[in-house]
Amino acid sequence: MKKSLIALAVMGASTVAFAASNVTLYGVIEEGVLVQKAKHQDTTVSLKSGFDQGSRWGIRGVEELGNGYAVGFILEQGFNADDGSEAISGKQFSREAFLYATGGFGRLGFGRTGTLSSGAQSNNILTGWALGTGFGLSSWTSAIGTSFSRVDNVVAYQTPSFDGLKFSAMYSNGTKGDDVKWSKNNHYYGIGAKYDANAIKSSLIFEAVDNKDTAGLAKKKTQYVINFGFEYNLGTVTPMFAYQWAHQDEGKKTNMFGLSAKVAVGGGDALVGARYLFGDDDAPTATDDKVRSWNIGAAYIYPLSKRTALKAYAGYADSSKGWKDTENVVYNGYQLYLGMRHSF
């Protein structure tokens, strides 16, 4: 009897382990010291959580259904490592809450996730900028550019790979919630293509958000954005080119170019980049609707192990015309950062 009970216990434990083997707990913690100064402002020194990679923990899992079909999920919550607070107050899975199915048809999913050019989460296809969407004022999605980050109420589809080429489409039924009339809500639309093969990575993405107020009285302020990126891996050096065209009614109409590279050196990776923006900003606070802005940045990431790395970064930004006196470090100022990232 005792042996039978022991056998049942072992079988039960094995079953639990097998069931749990398809579910993974993971996360990233990044913390560092950030020194920065914006134009006409004091120099500040602060402890910064997630300066490059946002601190987060998550759960992901996949169930194989057979015949090449599977169902999976991603639940990911962001937090601030310096004080333990939520990255976005009130959201339990602020970074991603995504349910999807895969098969010969590609991947179809639903929930909250990053947009195609957000640089984050499982549907991102942005390429062409070595410093990515982190590193403060050098982020491709910082304030001088246009980005839609993460959106709620998403339906996202990605095709199978055609010799390295995949197509993506994404739609949000309401970026501010879907409990109001469809014609009075804000909707996100995105289509794009990414090629990743033969040392080349490249993407072309078109996105739009039809901004409206919930009363339906304000003039539509639709934003249209095109991002193009290209990378060529030469081994120790990967040069990159990125371009963004952005247009918004009663807002910014800009062109942004970026040249950057990733270089393997000293056992780590050096990331360098320079970008330039020109165009119009018709915001009422602007003294000149013509705007110009440029910035340069360099980072070095040194792995202490497979899961832990040291990071150093320096960046400088300067703007003119309508943004000449903007007291924001992204437009005018500098940043210095030294930190550590640990993943699990």
Q: Phi and psi dihedrals of 135, rounded to 5? A: 55, 50
Query: What's the rounded Cα separation, in Å, for the pair 276 and 243?
Result: 10
Confidence label for 10 from pLDDT (cuts 50, 70 and 90): very low
* Contacting residues for 187 by C-beta, under 8 A, at least 6 apart: 171, 172, 173, 174, 175, 209, 210
Task: For residue 198, give the DSSP letter.
Answer: T
Highest mean pLDDT pick, 141-145, 215-219, 248-252: 141-145
Least confident of 70-79, 215-224, 230-239, 279-288: 215-224
Confidence label for 174 from pLDDT (cuts 50, 70 and 90): confident
CB contact at 8 A, 218 and 241: no
Predicted local distance difference test score (pLDDT) of residue 287: 59
Query: What's the rounded Cα separation, in Å, for the pair 219 and 237?
Result: 48
- Go through 188-209 and write b for each residue having 16 or more CB atoms within 10 A of its CB, e for each that does not: bbbbbbbbbeeeebbbbbbbbb
Q: What are the pLDDT digits (tens) for 227-253?
A: 999 999 999 999 999 999 999 866 789
Check whether 3 has a pLDDT greater than 50. Answer: no
Structure tokens at 153: 């109420």
SS3 assignment, position 203: strand
Amino acid at 102: T
Check residue 119 and give left, alpha or beta (phi > 0: left; psi -120 to 50: alpha): left
Confidence label for 271 from pLDDT (cuts 50, 70 and 90): very high
Q: Tell me the helix, strand and coil percentages in the chain, rounded to 5.
A: 5, 55, 35
Check whether 280 has a pLDDT greater than 60. Answer: yes
Query: What's the rounded Cα separation, in Å, for the pair 155 and 173?
Result: 8
Sign of the CA dihedral with 281 first, then 285, 286, and 292 last? negative
Report CA-CA distances (Å) from 10 to 5, 23, 56.
9, 21, 35
Query: What's the rounded Cα separation, in Å, for the pair 252 and 323?
Result: 12
Confidence label for 275 from pLDDT (cuts 50, 70 and 90): very high
CB contact at 8 A, 113 and 96: yes
SS3 assignment, position 18: helix
Question: Mean of the pLDDT values across residues 100-109?
Answer: 97
Query: What's the rounded Cα separation, in Å, for the pair 344 and 75?
Result: 15
> 155 or 178: which carries more pLDDT confidence?
155
Report CA-CA distances (Å) from 197 to 162, 164, 166, 232.
10, 5, 11, 10
CB contact at 8 A, 329 and 37: yes
Least confident of 42-46, 251-255, 286-290: 286-290
* Contacting residues for 198 by C-beta, under 8 A, at least 6 apart: 164
| Stretch (H or E) spanning 7 | helix 2-20
Least confident of 176-185, 203-212, 318-327: 176-185
- pLDDT above 90: percentage of residues in the chain: 75
Mean pLDDT of the chain: 89
Predicted local distance difference test score (pLDDT) of residue 182: 79
CB contact at 8 A, 170 and 187: no
Query: What's the rounded Cα separation, in Å, for the pair 126 and 132?
Result: 9
Q: Give 230-292 as a DSSP string.
A: EEE--SSEEEEEEEEEEEETTSEEEEEEEEEEEEEETTEEEEEEEEEEEEEE--TT-S-SEEE
Domains along the chain with CATH numbers: 33-343 (2.40.160.10)
Q: What angle do CA 204, 177, 223 make, to 5 degrees?
A: 35
SS3 assignment, position 43: coil
